[in-house]
Homo-oligomer: A and B are copies of this chain.
Amino acid sequence: MFELVFKALGEPTRLKIIKLLAHRELCVCDLEEILQMSQPRISQHLKVLKHAGLVNDWKEGQRTICSLNQISLNNTINEFLQYIAKPIESIAEMAEEVARIPAVTGETCLKRSCKETI
């Protein structure tokens, strides 16, 4: 989930689209003209942004108008900061990794040298 969003934000064209949509709603055709990029290129980047929940769009006649989902962007970032801050023991998906965290930093290396538990 964070991965999808960060991956979407980690690309220069998509960052520009985000910034443009933060300024104002635009149709695909506007973005094409503003960024001087091919229509499929814009279309595909928008798809990635929509998948990440960062951009909303709707039809108006034959045009597709796009807008930035500010709320989703803010929420995701807040949730990420909370994720980083909360105790690692509370993250179910990391249970296996947590079980392998050594008691002290570097203990793993010592163990290997001794070939036994400290």
Contact = CB atoms under 8 A, between A and B. Distances in A.
Number of copies: 2
Interface in A41-84: 60, 63, 65, 73-74, 77, 80-81, 83-84
Chain A interface size, as a band, is 35 or more
Contacts of A74: 81
Interface of A: 2-3, 5-12, 15-16, 18-20, 22-27, 29-30, 32-36, 60, 63, 65, 73-74, 77, 80-81, 83-85, 87-88, 91, 94, 97, 100-102, 105-109, 112
Given A11-B3, A18-B84, A23 B106 contact: no
A35 B97 contact: yes
